[in-house]
Every structure is written in structure tokens, then in C-alpha cells.
Amino acid sequence: MARFTGKVVLVTGGTSGIGKAAALAFAREGARVVVSGRREPEGLAVVEEVKKAGGEAHFVRADVTKEAEVKNLVAQAVARYGRLDVAFNNAGVEWTGPITEVTEADYRKVFDANVWGVLAAMKYEIPELLRAGGGAVVNTSSIAGHVGMANVSVYIAAKHAVEGLTKTAALEYAKQGVRVNAVAPAAIVTDMIDRFVGGEDSDGGRGLAAMHPVGRMGRPEEVAAAVLYLASDEAKFTTGVSLPVDGGWLAQ
Ligand SMILES: NC(=O)c1ccc[n+]([C@@H]2O[C@H](COP(=O)([O-])OP(=O)(O)OC[C@H]3O[C@@H](n4cnc5c(N)ncnc54)[C@H](O)[C@@H]3O)[C@@H](O)[C@H]2O)c1
């Protein structure tokens, strides 16, 4: 039997990149998937792709920076499929620049999406996971949650916060059957990397690829595989960890 048959999975930032790859992978493994994001056409296209492959999915529009929308998202997921077993809190935004050029608006934008977005999601997801008799949360951190990097201060700080939230939530619910882990990707070929370095085939892209010991960037599907592992019963003794999916970056 597929690993997620009978399970209901919620994915934020599911309209593109890593979230989309995870939504498709969960659906292939039998889950009913609630795909969430801010962009309705992209979200509906992911749902269509799942359904074409014989899976089940539903789109709910939500901006994770808005608590009322996150609350509604979780309520809609449960209204649609009756329960919640897995939450993949993946929505996030990037930021680059020297510390001397950070604005308060940059800080708020990145922390609202990457930190408050994860915290607010867990606030409403965890009660539903408990109602379902236990479950799993996977948050998208980054290698930027493990080490510093020059000229990425706001993003580095936000992803370090995701690491702290993941560990804390894991400890709060360890005895109640809710596991909380994170994935920590290095550079993955998505829209975000296109915005960050100007694409895989640009000078910036080639330079970034060369910074990985394996000599290349990762693929969204390679992160999705780690997310599914952490969300599955195969990882039932694993909680509070952040799993690097990084081509060896953090081993350096
Ligand atoms: N691509 C990388 O190299 C990389 C590396 C490490 C971590 N990450 C993290 O992976 C996650 C997914 O990013 P990606 O690489 O797939 O890029 P992406 O830009 O394709 O995906 C990010 C998704 O989050 C959504 N999003 C952003 N703000 C939102 C908000 N306020 N409400 C709802 N949705 C929102 C975006 O619309 C998008 O769908 C992010 O958390 C990112 O920080 C990416």
C-alpha cells in the first residue's frame, strides 16, 4: 500500500517549486492533498495535474502572513476531507543584500512569511493533528537555518527561527503523537533560485552550483522525497530534527 493512503496532507506554498513537487509526490503515494498558496490559477493547475494522474487534491487560497487566512485554510482542509494527518509548511520568500541596506519592510516581509507563516500554521494545524490521533509536521528551513552566509542576513535569521520553532513544537507535542521536523535544502532549482541568481545557466547559477560538494544544485523532487520520509511512519522515532538535503553543503 502507498505510504499515505487514507491520509490528508496540507501543503503551503504548494503552487510552485518544492511545495508543488511535494504535493504531487504525496498525491502519488495515496494522500488527499490540500494545495495552498496565494496564486489561484497556479494552485488549480497543480490540482489538475494531481487529478490527471489519478490522485485527489483541492486548492485553498491563503496568504500565510494573515492569521485569519491560515485559520480558514486549516478549517477548509478539515471541512473538505474530514481530518488532517500531515502539514508541510513550506511557503517562504527570499532576501539578499548587505546588512547596511536592510529596511524594516524587508525584515517584516521575510519574517511575516517565513517565521510567522510557519508559527501561525502550526497553531491551527496541531489541534487538528491531535484530533486525528497524531500526525506529522514538516517545516521548510534551509541550510540558511544552519549556517551564516554573507549578504543574506534577514533570510538567515528567519530560517534560524524556523529551526527553533521546529524544535520547540517537537518538544511540546512529543508525548501526544505529533512529530515536528524540518527539511534544510541547499540551492534547489526553483523560481526562487531564478530570482536569487538569475537561473541555473547564468554565471551566478553556475557559481552557486559549484559551491555544493556534489557540483550541482538540487531538484524540487529531491527535497520532496525527504519531506515524504519525515512525514511517513518510517520516521516515527524522528522528531525535532532538520534534515539537510544539500549535496554535502553542511559537511564542508
Ligand atoms: N530554492 C531554494 O534554493 C531553497 C533553498 C532552501 C530553502 N528554500 C525554501 O523552500 C521553500 C519553497 O521555495 P521554492 O524554492 O520552492 O521557491 P518558490 O518561490 O517556487 O516557492 C515559494 C512558494 O511560497 C509561496 N509564498 C510566498 N509567500 C507566501 C505567503 N505569504 N503566503 C502563501 N504562500 C506564499 C510562493 O508563492 C511560492 O509558491 C521556501 O520556504 C524557501 O525559503 C528554498
Which residue lies with its CA nearest to atom 7 of ligand 1? 142
Cell of 250: 553542511
Looking at the domain assignment, is residue 1 inside a domain?
A: no
**All residues at 6 or more sequence positions from 224 whose CB lies less than 8 Å from its CB, including other chains:** 18, 21, 22, 24, 25
Residue 57: predicted pLDDT: 98
Distance 89 CA to ligand 1 centre (A): 10
Hey, which of 11, 12, 15, 18 would you mutate to test ligand 1's pocket, going by the most ligand atoms within 8 Å of its Cβ?
18
State how far the Cα of 88 lies from the Cα of 137, in Å rounded to an integer: 6
Q: Determine the distance from the C-alpha atom of residue 99 to the mean position of all C-alpha atoms in its chain, rounded to a whole number.
A: 26
Q: What is the pLDDT of residues 123-174, one digit of tens each?
A: 999 999 999 999 999 999 999 999 999 999 999 999 999 999 999 999 999 9
Radius of gyration of the chain (CA): 17
Distance 235 CA to ligand 1 centre (A): 24
Residue 44 has pLDDT above 80, yes or no: yes
Amino acid found at 100: T
State how far the Cα of 213 lies from the Cα of 251, in Å rounded to an integer: 9
Looking at the domain assignment, is residue 86 inside a domain?
A: yes
Looking at the domain assignment, is residue 228 inside a domain?
A: yes
Give the chain's count of helices (H) and strands (E): 9, 7
Does the Cβ of 90 fall within 6 Å of ligand 1? yes
**All residues at 6 or more sequence positions from 118 whose CB lies less than 8 Å from its CB, including other chains:** 64, 89, 139, 162, 165
Pairing of strands 135-140, 32-37: unpaired
| Residues in the chain, overall count | 252
Nearest to 87 by CA among 162, 14, 12: 12
Residue 1 has pLDDT above 80, yes or no: no
Cross-strand pairs, 181? 138
Residue 179's CATH number: 3.40.50.720
State how far the Cα of 231 lies from the Cα of 236, in Å rounded to an integer: 8
State how far the Cα of 80 lies from the Cα of 37, in Å rounded to an integer: 17
Looking at the domain assignment, is residue 27 inside a domain?
A: yes
Does the Cβ of 187 fall within 6 Å of ligand 1? yes
**All residues at 6 or more sequence positions from 28 whose CB lies less than 8 Å from its CB, including other chains:** 2, 53, 55
| Residue range of the domain that includes 150 | 8-187+220-236
Does the Cβ of 178 fall within 6 Å of ligand 1? no
Looking at the domain assignment, is residue 98 inside a domain?
A: yes
State how far the Cα of 80 lies from the Cα of 34, in Å rounded to an integer: 9
Residue 196: predicted pLDDT: 87
Domain total of the chain: 1
Residue positions annotated with a catalytic role? 155
Looking at the domain assignment, is residue 21 inside a domain?
A: yes
Give the predicted TM-score (pTM) of the model.
Answer: 0.99
State how far the Cα of 18 lies from the Cα of 134, in Å rounded to an integer: 25
Q: What is the pLDDT of residues 19-38, one digit of tens each?
A: 999 999 999 999 999 999 99
Looking at the domain assignment, is residue 88 inside a domain?
A: yes
Does the Cβ of 92 fall within 6 Å of ligand 1? yes
